[in-house]
């Protein structure tokens, strides 16, 4: 049974990236399963550090993007927003230029006021590059004026 509110599609999510950090970093949602968000991000001039490998901050931005999409998809967007509250990351292998990193975000806890997501980022060969945990706050949406 799906954890998503409604029936979201990958195409709808990617269409919402226009003008955002996700678009600037080349982050794409690639798949939605019943309980996870999958995505990818290129390791290129937008996402590398001066030493030429994947920048840890880009990995964190990728991880939080996937977790945030996951949180957003589990609540009624007319009533709630999901916002990042805390994130941590362990960088365990370099992402190499000219490749992609792939992320999978799955919920560890989905409460009424907060959610905790586990994000695993791997390289094209499936080797772990980064493991991250992101806490999202669930806040009431302000009425639109």
Instruction: Judge whether 1 lies within some domain.
Output: no
Distance (Å, whole) CA 134 – CA 143:
27
What residues are labeled active site?
Answer: 64
Would 38 be classed as within a structural domain? yes
Contact (Cβ atoms closer than 8 angstroms) between residue 115 and residue 72: no
Q: What is the pLDDT along the chain (145 residues), one digit of tens a residue?
A: 899 999 999 999 999 989 999 999 999 999 999 999 999 999 999 999 999 999 999 999 999 999 999 999 999 999 999 999 999 999 999 999 999 999 999 999 999 999 999 999 999 999 999 999 999 999 999 876 6
The whole model's pTM is what? 0.95
Number of domains in the chain: 1
CATH number at 114 reads 3.10.129.10
Instruction: Give φ, ψ of 41 to 5 degrees.
Output: -145, 135
Q: Tokens in use for 5?
A: 């509110």
Report helix, strand and coil shares of the chain as percent, to nearest 5: 20, 40, 40
Structural domain span for residue 19: 10-140
* Residue 145 lies inside a defined structural domain of this protein: no
Measured CA to CA, the distance from residue 135 to residue 64 in angstroms comes to 9
């Amino acid at each position: 049974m799906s954890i998503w509110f409604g029936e979201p599609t990958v195409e709808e999510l990617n269409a919402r990236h226009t003008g955002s950090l996700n678009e600037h970093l080349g982050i794409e949602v690639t798949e939605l399963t019943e309980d996870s968000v999958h995505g990818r991000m290129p390791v290129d001039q937008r996402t590398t550090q001066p030493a030429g490998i994947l920048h840890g901050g880009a990995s964190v931005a990728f991880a939080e993007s996937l977790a945030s999409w996951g949180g957003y998809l589990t609540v009624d967007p007319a009533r709630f927003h999901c916002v990042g509250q805390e994130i941590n990351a362990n960088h365990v292998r370099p992402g190499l230029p000219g490749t992609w990193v792939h992320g999978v975000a799955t919920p560890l806890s989905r409460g009424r006021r907060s959610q905790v997501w586990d994000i695993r980022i791997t390289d094209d060969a499936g080797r772990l590059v980064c493991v991250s945990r992101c806490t999202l706050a669930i806040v009431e949406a302000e009425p639109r004026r």
